[in-house]
A and B are shown apart, each in its own frame.
Chain A
Amino acid sequence: GQNIDQPTEMTATEGAIVQINCTYQTSGFNGLFWYQQHAGEAPTFLSYNVLDGLEEKGRFSSFLSRSKGYSYLLLKELQMKDSASYLCAVTSGAGSYQLTFGKGTKLSVIP
């Protein structure tokens, strides 16, 4: 089976740095994704990690440790528009990349 855990809610201050953690237990692993989802909208792709280490993309970075079943998303220089839900998703099947999503972390950025 698949089990993906992430905190339900987080609050951070504008301009600060926030780290959103995700732990997973899956049968098989083909990569981990982070998506951003604003309320009432579809998710938008942020990052994809398949090897251990840190991937940096502008203000967003994502880290993966396969041996620990652990990932985090790091958001720097937070802006008000970063207030959204952040979804951790794992692919585990061969062939088509079916995604199993965590419940998401609702991030609130405050002035």
Chain B
Amino acid sequence: GAVVSQHPSWVICKSGTSVKIECRSLDFQATTMFWYRQFPKQSLMLMATSNEGSKATYEQGVEKDKFLINHASLTLSTLTVTSAHPEDSSFYICSASRDRRSYEQYFGPGTRLTVT
């Protein structure tokens, strides 16, 4: 159990357009979901934490108006990159935990975004 999926697995978009990435917990309810970004040869950087039914908490330096996060249900969170630019090209990974006190996070397979 504890499977997390992401869709799409990769996407190419033109500069100025918006891209939506979905993160789903397939066999459990995820009270909390996390969004990370990973640039080549870098580690994962936490972008934001979202709890179902409430607004996401963004890390310092992450523009909340550019990276829109919606956690509308216990099994789905979405990240929308608005007005994408080439510097937004990265590997975006979500993770989910069963409840706020659970230490274990289950990672999705990631989404490779390329902005041309």
Contact = CB atoms under 8 A, between A and B. Distances in A.
Q: Do A and B bind each other?
A: yes
Interface of A: 30-31, 33, 40-45, 48, 50, 87, 91, 95-104
Interface stretch (B12-20, B66-74, B75-83, B104-112): B104-112
B107 A42 contact: yes
Interface of B: 32, 34, 42-46, 49, 51, 91, 93, 97, 100, 102-110, 112
B20 to A, nearest CB: 19
A92 to B, nearest CB: 12
Contacts of B34: 98-99
B90 to A, nearest CB: 13
23 contacts: A31-B103, A33-B103, A40-B91, A40-B110, A40-B112, A41-B109, A42-B108, A42-B110, A43-B107, A45-B106, A87-B43, A95-B100, A96-B49, A96-B51, A97-B103, A99-B34, A99-B105, A100-B46, A101-B43, A101-B45, A102-B43, A103-B42, A104-B43
